[in-house]
Amino acid sequence: MKSNDIVIVGGGLGGLTAAIHLKGLGYSVLVIEKKKYPHHKVCGEYVSNEIMPYLQSLGIDLKQSGAVAIDTLQISTRTGASIKTELPLGGIGISRYAFDMLLYKKALTLGVIFKFETATSIRFYDDLFEVQTDASVTYMASIVIGAYGKRSGLDKVLQRDFIENKSSWLAVKGHYSYPDFPDNLVALHNFKGGYGGLSKTESGNINFCYLVNYQSFKEYNGIEDFNNEIVAENPHLKTFLQKANPIFDAPMTIAQISFESKNAVENHVLMCGDAAGLIHPLCGNGMAMAIHAAKIASEHVHRFLENKSYTRNHLELDYETKWNKAFRQRLWIGRRVQSVLLSEGLSKAAMATAIKSPKLLKSLIRRTHGKPINV
């Protein structure tokens, strides 16, 4: 058995950020991640500027990696009717390939330990955790942060409620060469049964990531057929698919994406990022939420490890309360906005309202994004 102050299961944005924060405070931190860096992930690859002050406080400057400044949002209905509006805070476009690698390198320079293994179980007893991996190694820690993403075998081991329910959502992602796409734009285009986002990354390539109901998708013969028959019904996406050149050999996919409510604490594990709750991609804020959650978790973990009168019960209750205060309303609004956009009649009515009242659209955007994080 190997012991650390903190074990973080999952090395995505939330896990890496928490590792950097906590290692900077002097704790021994181990990150268990199943894949070596760098690698691509299915993701919208747009991150709100709300998290920039916090990242800068950790010594991370995304502009050094060539991240693209984005200040404009375009939304369209299935028929192509569209509206553009200024994003109140703005954000940046950066691939997970580059973003995760940047955080990984920072964590390494601080002395964070990485094990490229798959965690198979997490047990808690006698006020300690045991994390077992597929390498037949057991790691012990005072704190475990679960940052392993949308869905994992660990969710079943921890008997999380949502894991028993099948989800009908499928995500598809690819990078494309498309010189005509504006640097400062993130676009959200509807199609029957789903919607897709377009934005530029640090490489100059365009990330196209869409979410679709699997019931709609399975009626067609694969991704190319579905793109041609359904996605391309939206004229904006039709033009993109006709002119863009794919960079990946094949698109990446993730199935069984669940937007059901999750608990921020499970069996004493502090959940972070998508493991704690997944916002609908149309809100473009999942990356920022993962990083913000890492800050909340790190601050409470530090208090717990430094103050003996601050019990584990205090830690768990405070983390869950703070997480809900920061994100629960955003998740609720995301679910409601998605139901509107997926209804052809409601999306047309919403578009007409947005055109008449741009302030209303900006207000909705603000409610799905947080304020700049205080540091």
DSSP secondary structure string for all residues of 13-30:
HHHHHHHHHHHHTT--EE
> What are the residues whose beta carbons fall under 8 Å from the beta carbon of 180, sequence distance 6 or more?
243
* pLDDT above 80: residue 321: yes
**218 Cβ contact list (under 8 Å, min separation 6):** none
Spatial contact of 29 and 8, defined as CB atoms under 8 Å apart: yes
Give residue-wise pLDDT tens across range 269-298: 999 999 998 776 655 578 999 999 999 999
Mean pLDDT of the region 4-31: 97
Which of 303, 220, 208 has its CA nearest to residue 247? 208
pLDDT band at 344 (very low <50, low <70, confident <90, very high): low
How much is the pLDDT for 347? Answer: 64
Amino acid identity for residue 324 in this structure: N
Please answer whether residues 75 and 86 qualify as being in contact, where contact means their C-beta atoms are separated by less than 8 angstroms.
Answer: no
At 362, list the tokens. Answer: 């900006």
Rounded Cα distance between 199 and 207, Å, is 6
Confidence class for position 334, pLDDT limits 50, 70, 90: confident
The residue behind tokens 């006698």 is 126
pLDDT at 281: 62
Checking if the pLDDT of 162 tops 80, the result is yes
pLDDT at 183: 94
- Give the span between the Cα atoms of 14 and 122, in whole angstroms: 19
Q: Is the pLDDT of residue 327 over 60?
A: yes
Measured distance CA(269)–CA(307) in Å, rounded: 19
Encode pLDDT of 207-241 as tens digits: 999 988 888 898 899 999 999 999 999 999 999 99
Q: And the tokens for 98?
A: 């580059």
pLDDT at 70 over 60: yes
pLDDT interval class at 60 (50, 70, 90): very high
Q: How far apart are CA 189 and CA 181, in angstroms?
A: 14
* CB 25, CB 2: distance < 8 Å: no
CATH of the domain spanning 2-68+92-165+259-339: 3.50.50.60
Which residue type does 65 have?
A: S
- Average of pLDDT values for 145-166? 89
Q: Looking at residue 341, what is its pLDDT?
A: 67
**What is the residue-averaged pLDDT of the chain?**
90
Q: Which residues contact 84 (CB under 8 A, 6 or more apart)?
A: 72, 73, 74, 185
Where does the pLDDT of residue 193 fall: very low under 50, low under 70, confident under 90, or very high at 90 and above?
confident
Check if the beta carbon of residue 298 is closer than 8 Å to that of residue 306.
no
pLDDT at 309 over 80: yes
Confidence of residue 299 (pLDDT cuts 50, 70, 90): very high
In the chain, where are the structural domains located?
2-68+92-165+259-339
Give the per-residue pLDDT at 29: 98
> Taking the CB of residue 195, how many other CB atoms lie within 10 A of it?
26
- Residue 264 and residue 288: Cα distance in Å, rounded? 16
How far, in whole angstroms, is CA 41 from its chain's centroid? 10
